Amino acid sequence: MNHQPSDYSNFSIDDFVIDPFFKEWVLYSDPIHDEFWMDWKDSNPSKVALIDEAKRLVLSLEHAKLEMKPSEMLSVWGAIQSEIKQPPKFSKPTPDRRFFWPFASAVASCALVFLAWYWYNLPKEIEYQSAFGETKELMLPDGSKVILNSNSKLTFIDNWEGQMAREIWIEGEAFFSVVHKKDHQPFKVLSSQNVAIEVLGTEFNVYNRSQETEVVLTSGLVTLSFPVKEKEGKIVMSPGELVEFKENKFQRKKVNTSLYTSWKDNVFHLDETSLGEIIKMARNNYGIEIEIQDEEVLSQTASGSMPLGDSAEFMDQISKIFNIEIVNERNKYLIK
């Protein structure tokens, strides 16, 4: 519930019915919403009856939305439209017919609001994407936090209420801090390798690039499911573990988690990290082209830490750490 109140001074009943903040108050009342609307009604006594009617309509529409299938709603709306579009008949009106058009107009208005409500509440795909060399901090609808690493994409369907689980799809790399909900609704992260990470509330890092998925758990517990036929196709991770899934096989080991999560603090920790691994990261995160003249240098390792700046700064630091010459020629880095 992250919606903000609007300027309601000129709102009609239809406007109230489709307003997200108003609907949150009616359907999921909490102290913050209650206080706002009590103060607003005190300041706008002439609108109290309008508010009460809008509230009643929201509850009615919500109930109807749960009871009526989408096909039934479209059928009702089609029938109403068909009736309204009929050419007027010039026969002598009967007493009862005098009240038909006002009634039909009211029904059509309600149906229009109903359909607007329905389409507004249809699940929508939300996508966040980071550029090369950019990280993004995101707040999800349930209050969970995500830090998206460079050149990464996160996708989810926004309607989590009433769903079996909160589901996220990740391409690239992201660090998750998941909120544990009172109803114990699971939180699932899915990779392109069909690896499913399921948690109730915890912190973990997911890397999903180049046909490889890697999960590092910093706190809490997570369950991993793999698309394999082995008996151990589902495992439970403990804090301080890394699980890698590649070429339809997975392996787990104990690691120093800060080596895999320091990127979110704009620092790159090295622990006998090979130049080859660093080059791989630079290509993925900065989108730069790197050519190596002598492949033997890729086996060199280094330990320590280095700040994460732009691509030019990063490559300059690599040159100094490994004492190698790196030349930038026509937007391509050449390691000599």
**Helix residue spans in 234-310 (DSSP H):** 258-261, 275-286
The domains of the chain are located at: 13-121, 125-257, 266-335
User: Is residue 309 within 8 Å of residue 318, measured between CB atoms?
Assistant: no
Task: Give the integer Cα–Cα distance in Å for 224 and 69.
Answer: 35
Contacts of residue 200, defined as CB under 8 A and 6 or more positions apart, other chains included, come to 178, 180, 181, 184, 186, 187, 220
User: Is residue 18 within 8 Å of residue 26, measured between CB atoms?
Assistant: no
Q: What is the pLDDT of residue 145?
A: 95
Which two tokens mark 293? Answer: 């003249």
Q: What is the pLDDT of residue 282?
A: 92
Domain 125-257 and domain 266-335, same fold? Reply is no
User: Is residue 174 within 8 Å of residue 150, measured between CB atoms?
Assistant: no
Q: What mean pLDDT comes out for the span 328-336?
A: 85
Coil, strand or helix: which one is 35?
helix
- Interval 86-113: pLDDT, tens: 554 444 445 455 545 554 555 555 555 5
Task: Indicate if the pLDDT at residue 261 is higher than 70.
Answer: yes
Task: Give the integer Cα–Cα distance in Å for 239 and 225.
Answer: 17
- Interval 26-83: pLDDT, tens: 877 677 778 888 889 989 989 988 888 888 877 776 655 544 454 554 554 455 455 4
Task: Give the integer Cα–Cα distance in Å for 114 and 74.
Answer: 11
User: Is residue 173 within 8 Å of residue 201, measured between CB atoms?
Assistant: no
Write the Ramachandran bin of 200: left for phi over 0, alpha for psi from -120 to 50, otherwise beta.
Answer: alpha
Q: What is the pLDDT of residue 84?
A: 46
**What is the separation of C-alpha 78 from the centre of its chain, rounded to a whole number of angstroms?**
34
Q: What is the pLDDT of residue 281?
A: 92
Confidence band of 267 (pLDDT split at 50, 70, 90): very high
- Among 53, 64, 3, 65, smallest CA distance to 28 is for 3
Task: Give the integer Cα–Cα distance in Å for 334 and 306.
Answer: 21
User: Is residue 314 within 8 Å of residue 282, measured between CB atoms?
Assistant: yes
Q: Which CATH number fits domain 266-335: 3.55.50.30, 3.30.470.10, 3.30.70.100, 3.90.1150.10?
A: 3.55.50.30
Residue pointed to by tokens 């704009």: 266
- Among 213, 138, 136, smallest CA distance to 172 is for 213
The least confident of 60-64, 104-108, 196-200, 239-243 is 104-108
**What is the separation of C-alpha 181 from the centre of its chain, rounded to a whole number of angstroms?**
16
The DSSP annotation for 110-172 comes to HHHHHHHHHHHHS--EEEEE--TT--EEEE-TTS-EEEE-SS-EEEEES--TT-SSEEEEEEE
- Interval 268-300: pLDDT, tens: 999 999 999 999 999 999 999 999 988 889 999
Q: What is the pLDDT of residue 64?
A: 54
Confidence band of 317 (pLDDT split at 50, 70, 90): very high
Residue 232 Cα distances to 46, 103, 214, 225, 249, angstroms = 66, 64, 17, 9, 11
pTM check: above 0.85: no
**Helix residue spans in the chain (DSSP H):** 13-18, 20-27, 31-43, 48-67, 70-85, 100-121, 258-261, 275-286, 311-322
- Interval 318-331: pLDDT, tens: 999 999 999 988 77
Coil, strand or helix: which one is 254?
strand
Task: Indicate if the pLDDT at residue 246 is higher than 70.
Answer: yes
User: Is residue 290 within 8 Å of residue 333, measured between CB atoms?
Assistant: yes
CATH class of 125-257: mainly beta
- Interval 148-185: pLDDT, tens: 999 999 999 877 876 788 999 999 999 999 998 888 88
Task: Give the orientation angle of helix 31-43 with respect to helix 20-27, to 10 degrees.
Answer: 110
Q: Percent of the chain beyond pLDDT 90?
A: 43
